Amino acid sequence: MTAAVPAGAVRVTADRDVCVGGGLCVRVAPGVFDQAEHDGRVVVLVPEPDAAEAPGTRRAVALCPVHALALTPGRAARGSAGPVAGAVLPGGHAQDGPELP
């Protein structure tokens, strides 16, 4: 059984200057991402997704073709020492560290 990811365990950020508006993130995690009507670039609707949205959010970050999205520890995980394992940094690189809950 997989442990539940508490709300606030991860934080997603978007670099709108890098985003090309492909919309893959919106298709993969529509509860977390949207696209601005004026330019089609990503808008983060839920910066710290809950357990139900966490898998789709991670997938959207990993699949972003221009690496405009990044995951970092959220407020619930910031109390732990060191980086979060599996956090996806800009450029799509995984980070080593303690496992996410």
- Tell me, what's the pLDDT at 95? 42
Mapping DSSP to helix (H, G, I), strand (E, B) and coil, where does residue 59 land? helix
- The predicted pLDDT at position 65 comes to 96
Task: Give the pLDDT of residue 33.
Answer: 98
Q: pLDDT tens digit string along 24-79?
A: 999 999 999 999 999 999 999 999 999 899 999 999 999 999 999 999 988 776 66
Q: Tell how strand 42-44 and strand 87-88 pair up.
A: unpaired
pLDDT digits (tens, 9 = 90+) for 11-30: 999 999 999 999 999 999 99
The pair of three-digit structure tokens given for residue 51, joined into one six-digit string: 């357990």
